[in-house]
A and B are shown apart, each in its own frame.
Chain A
C-alpha cells in the first residue's frame, strides 16, 4: 500500500486535476494549476539537493575507503563544498548578504562561474566537435541513398552558412541563382528541414500525450521500480 498504491493515487490525482483545470478555467481549478506548477519547481529544486547529496555520498565513500583514484573524488568533494559554501553564504558579495543577488558581479560565486564552470562547460562541449566529426565519418559513410542525402545536406548547411558557400558558387549567372549553395541551404532549412521537424514534433506530441495518459491512468508504473 505505502510503496505502490499511495504513489499511484498521488499521480492519478495530481495529473487529473491538472487536465480538468484546463477545461474549467475557474476557481479553484485555475489557481490549483498555477500552484501545482510552483510546487513542481520547488520539488525539482529539492532534487538538486538530492543530487548533491548523492554525489557527496558516492565520492565521500570512495575517499574514506581509499579506493583507486580517490584523489579525484577528493577534488570533486572539495570543489562541491567550496562552491556550496560561497554560494549559500554569498561570500564576497559587494553589497553584503541581504541586499544582493547570489550572482552579483564580483562575488566569489560569480568568479567560480566565470572562471571554473563556464570554461569547463564550454570546452567540454567544444571537444564534441572533434568527436562528432570523427564518429560521423565512421558511421555515416555514403553506403546508400539515405546516408548520402544526410551527408550532402550536412555539407550544404555547413558550407552554405559561411562565406565559403557564396564564394564557391559566385560564378553562376543570376538566372541560376537557385543553384547557389546559400540559396539551397536556405531552402533546405525553411522547407524540408522545417517539414521534417514538424512531422517529428507531431509524432513526439502524440507520444507524450499517450505516455502521459498511461501514467495518469496507472498503466505505466515503471517509475515505481520493482520493489
Chain B
C-alpha cells in the first residue's frame, strides 16, 4: 500500500513537470545541453536530499557518481594546472608548446631543466604502489613529500603562527589603533585597551589549559578553568558559523531548484 502511494505521488510530480514543460513554463531537458544539465543537477540534488528520509538506491547512485566524477575532476585539474606547465613544460618545452600550451613557445628551456627529472622519478615511484610488487618504492616519494612538508611548515608556522601571534598579542595591549594610511595619526582609546586586555587574559588562560607541567589546582587551576570557558566560547562560535555556512548552502540548493529548475522564483 505504502509503495502504491509513493508511486502515485511520483507519477503526479512527473505529470505536473511534463505539463509545465509543455506549457513553456520550465526549461525542457531536451532543448540543449544546458537544459539537460539543469534537469540532471536537480535530479542529483533531490537524490542526495532523499537520504534525509532513508538510505535508498537513488541516493547511492548519486553518491557513487559523485565519487567517480570528483576523483576524475581533481585528476584532470592536477594534470592541466600542475603537470603540464611545471613538469612537461620544463622538461620538453617545445613539445609541450606544440601540443598543449602555445604560450610556452616563446620561453627558452630552463638551463637547470634536468632537475625536473627528480619529481618525474619520484612521481613514477609513487605510482609503483599500484603494482602488485615493488610497492615499497613509493615510500621514497612519500619521504620526499614528508621532508618538504616538514621543512616548509616548520619555518612557516614558527615565524607566522607562533612568533607572529605572540608579537601581535603583546603589541595589541597598547590600546592603540594604527593609522590606515602611511604618515597618518593613530587612534588611542581606553575602550580598545580594555578589550585588548580582556583578549590577552583570555589567550593566556586558554594557553594555561594546555600547560601540563604544573598541576591544575589552586589559583592556576581556576585560571585554566577560565581558559576552558574561553575555548568553549571559541567552539560555540565555530559551531554557530559552521551551521550558518551549511544552512547558506542549503538555501543555495533550494534557490537552484526553485529558480533555475522549476522557474517559479
Contact = CB atoms under 8 A, between A and B. Distances in A.
Do A and B bind? yes
Interface residues of A, number: 127
A33 B153 CA distance: 12
Contacts of B249: 122-123, 125-126, 129
Interface in A9-38: 10-19, 22, 35-38
A40 B233 contact: no
B60 A158 contact: no
B38 A116 contact: no
A114 interface: yes
Interface in B169-201: 169, 195, 198-200
Interface string A113-131: 1111111111111111110
Given A18-B152, A157-B236, A212-B153, A7 B142 contact: yes
Interface of B: prevailing SS = helix
B147 A201 contact: no
Contacts of A211: 150
B126 A46 contact: yes
Given A102-B80, A116-B69, A84 B75 contact: yes
A154 B239 contact: yes
Given A8-B143, A145-B229, A209-B157, A72 B119 contact: no
Top 9 closest pairs, chain A to chain B, by CB: A18-B151, A196-B234, A153-B236, A87-B76, A14-B147, A79-B68, A157-B240, A115-B37, A199-B206
B72 A84 contact: yes
A213 B150 CA distance: 7
Residue of B140, B154, B162, B246 with most partner-chain A CB within 10 A: B154
Q: Pick from B41, B129, B139, B230 the residue with the most CB of A within 10 Å.
A: B139
B243 A52 contact: no
A47 B79 CA distance: 11
A77 interface: yes
Interface of B: 33-34, 37-38, 40-42, 44-45, 48-49, 51-52, 60-83, 86-87, 99-102, 115-116, 118-120, 122-123, 126-127, 129-130, 136-137, 139-155, 157-158, 161-162, 165-166, 168-169, 195, 198-200, 202-203, 206-207, 210, 227-244, 246-247, 249-250, 252-253, 256
Contacts of A129: 243, 246-247, 249-250
A78 interface: yes
A209 B158 contact: yes
Contacts of A197: 234
Interface of A: 2-3, 6-8, 10-19, 22, 35-55, 57, 59, 69, 72-73, 75-84, 87-88, 98-99, 101-102, 109, 111-130, 132-133, 136, 145-147, 149-158, 161, 187-206, 208-209, 211-213, 215-216, 223-225, 227
21 contacts: A11-B143, A18-B152, A19-B155, A37-B152, A39-B122, A49-B75, A49-B79, A51-B74, A53-B127, A55-B68, A87-B77, A102-B77, A113-B73, A119-B42, A132-B243, A149-B232, A161-B240, A202-B165, A205-B165, A215-B147, A223-B142
Contacts of B52: 127, 130
A49, A102, A111, A190, most chain B CB atoms within 10 A: A49
Most buried by A among B45, B72, B256: B72
Given A75-B65, A79-B65, A129-B249, A199 B142 contact: no
A194 B199 contact: yes
Contacts of B99: 98
A59 B65 CA distance: 12
A119 B147 contact: no
Contact of A203 (B126, B146, B210): B210
Nearest to B72: A83
A195 B202 contact: yes
A120 B69 contact: yes
Contacts of A7: 139-140, 142-143
B175 to A, nearest CB: 13
B56 to A, nearest CB: 12
